[in-house]
Amino acid sequence: MSLTPEVAGVVAKMREAEISFADLELAEARQFYIDTLAASGGEPVPMAEVVDQTLALDGRDLGARRYRPEGLAAGAAPTLVYFHGGGWVLGDLASHDRICRQLAQRAGCQLIAVDYRLAPEHCLPASSDDAIAAYGYLVEHAQDFDIDVQRLAVGGDSAGGHLSAVVALAARDAGWPLALQVLIYPATDLREAAGQYPSKGRNANVPPLTAELMAWFGQRSVDANTDPLDWRVSPILAKTLEGTAPALVITAGADVLMDEGVLYAARLADDGVDVAHAHYPGVIHGFIEMHAWLAATGNAMDRIAAAVRTHLGSTG
């Protein structure tokens, strides 16, 4: 796969590092992921307010972090609910802190990041159930989080893109308000047959998300109780996507997940959903996490911010 010169330099550095998640214990892998994103994400953007809160769901509490950028008026605000990536195994509020700050500032909206349960302690569809329940909780308790429920969006990267697609389907079925879904190189098909997507072979050796790492995630994110035909696991298999919120789908050309992201965007359009598809040729998976390294990251963040402003009426 042809890479842009800037991306090729980043990939070369990754290959020189010779660090594999397969060689790390789970706790080490999680910390390595946090440290890597801290380095690649750039300096944290100052916020007017950052508040950690708890979502008291049935049988479990989830952490959430609320970001309010400078210039956002007090009170109920347009809000982007964000789910981090990490293959349903890695990531937390710390790993994506820089991304959330960037998006909140650029979009001029409140952003709430949700710290869903991870595998292998809680295999799929546990994270999907958390995402659905968390979104419903935020709608029901909007006043406690200064949310304008008529100006709500959901978004996330990779596994978080998967969870965002799942939430959009659940919101449609539950009648919850949702103005926009932002799916950043989402995983949408977890069937074994999904390995037949050409991009999974063509980009199998392109870091950071190589075929080896995909297998590492797969061994940890599913178990005998995970049904790959369940729409909470493979949202592309939902009977119809009709009636879900307008969507922005972002895909990268040098990404193993490219084909299923492209196909999901096409299915949204075929089912009558208002969808914008932003494709970045020669760019790798995970690039939304690389603001300090890649110009494409800022471009994609601006695309997301523009979509949020359009659909939520924010003032960024």
| Catalytic residue numbers, as ranges | 158, 255, 285
Residue type, 202: R
Q: Which two tokens stand for residue 78?
A: 């347009």
Asked whether 237 and 189 are in contact (CB, 8 A), the reply is: yes
Q: CA-CA distance, 247 to 235, in Å (whole number)?
A: 14
Q: CA-CA distance, 250 to 275, in Å (whole number)?
A: 11
Q: CA-CA distance, 101 to 169, in Å (whole number)?
A: 26
Q: CA-CA distance, 102 to 105, in Å (whole number)?
A: 5
Q: Is 109 exposed, middle or buried (0-12, 13-18, 19+ CB in 10 A)?
A: buried
To 10 degrees, what angle do helices 26-40 and 97-107 make? 40
DSSP H helices, 71-227, are: 97-107, 126-140, 159-174, 198-202, 211-221
Please enumerate in sequence order all residues whose Cβ is within 8 A of that of 144, keeping only pairs 6 or more positions apart, or say none: 53
